[in-house]
Structure 1
Amino acid sequence: MVRPRFPRNRRGEPVDPVPFLVSVGLAFMLVFSIAPIYGLAYGFSLSTSLSAAAVAFVVLAVVAYAQLVRGAPAVDAGPLPVGPRFERLLYAAVGFGVVLAALTVPLL
């Protein structure tokens, strides 16, 4: 019987890969559905727009890997307190809002 190999955090403990895979899948969907259209709106060619989208996706995937796999807390650390989780969620929402507002610039 073959046991699945899970990615490991920096302490060598296995980490659940599902949050990373979901984040990378959403990043792929958003980047490749938005970036080429806005690249074309700025006057870039389609190949340049797709290349920029690929670079943005790779950067987002590396950041997600660093946050969700390499920086995963120890198994015995327990759940994070509510305060820091809410603060991270709030910062992510504000950052996402800034990105969406910046995406409207070519439409004005």
Structure 2
Amino acid sequence: MTEIYLCNQNELEEYQTRGFDIELGGDKTLDFFLLKQDGEVRAYLNFCPHLGIPLNWQPDQFMSLEGTHIQCSTHGALFQLEDGYCFSGPCRGESLTPLNIKVSATGDVYLISSS
């Protein structure tokens, strides 16, 4: 397993998202985003389970206008922040794919990659 440094959690604002596109070797890249909610950082693949396309409409923009849910910019599906579960839209009942991350004692955020 490999730990890839992403940022410090203090660089993330509460209820804001930040996108990443990381090369994992060869031609393989990983497109995902971090979300900070109530001091906890989560990571999800930037992949809509309905259409298989990126969720964001602009860089780092994954949240609904109200800032309360993750939203797919293409068809408006809404996902819970806590677990990526889709509760509204054409992919209702499906979920975003979570990624493994680690936050160190100093607040550094690392992606845990098996490749």
TM-score normalised by length of structure 1: 0.22
Q: Which has the larger share of helix?
A: 1
The structure with the larger Rg is 1
